[in-house]
Amino acid sequence: MINDLGPEVELVGTTAGGIGLEVSASTVEIRGFVVNRFATGVAITGGSASTIAGNYIGTAADGVTGAVGNTTQGVLIDQSPNNVIGGTAGADRNVISGNRQRGIAIDDWSDGVAVTSAGTQI
């Protein structure tokens, strides 16, 4: 069955915890996913110039927020420059909602290293 409302693939971390999708390479595109019930929905922790677009992060598959958010953040960018989260075209927009602490976190200082996620666009 096609979901006319959005993404087709749902990743549910009810018993998994941790990170739903983690990218550490360059120029990766994450598109068309529903990611919920993890600690962090999507993390870019290395590489550069990746794109997160057209996803539901922290919501149910229908795009409506329920008790399904990720427990820490929806999206984490750490030690990775020049990424794009979302976009101006309708197909590129993410729904990031219902995550317990943060929707999007850009965290370069927790390890004491200077900021390296410069150039990330939201």
29-85: pLDDT as tens digits: 999 999 999 999 999 999 999 999 999 999 999 888 788 999 999 999 998 999 999
Q: What confidence category does residue 1 fall into, taking pLDDT thresholds of 50, 70 and 90?
A: very low
The angle at the Cα of 86, spanning 11 to 19, to the nearest 5 degrees, equals 30
Q: Are 76 and 54 in contact (CB under 8 A)?
A: no
DSSP assignments along the chain, one per residue: ---TTS-SEEEE-TTT-SEEEEE-SSS-EEESEEEESSSEEEEE-SSS--EEES-EESS-TTS---TT--SSEEEEE-S--S-EES-SSGGG--EE---SSEEEEE--STTSPPP--TT-B-
Q: Are 5 and 62 in contact (CB under 8 A)?
A: yes
Q: What confidence category does residue 117 fall into, taking pLDDT thresholds of 50, 70 and 90?
A: confident
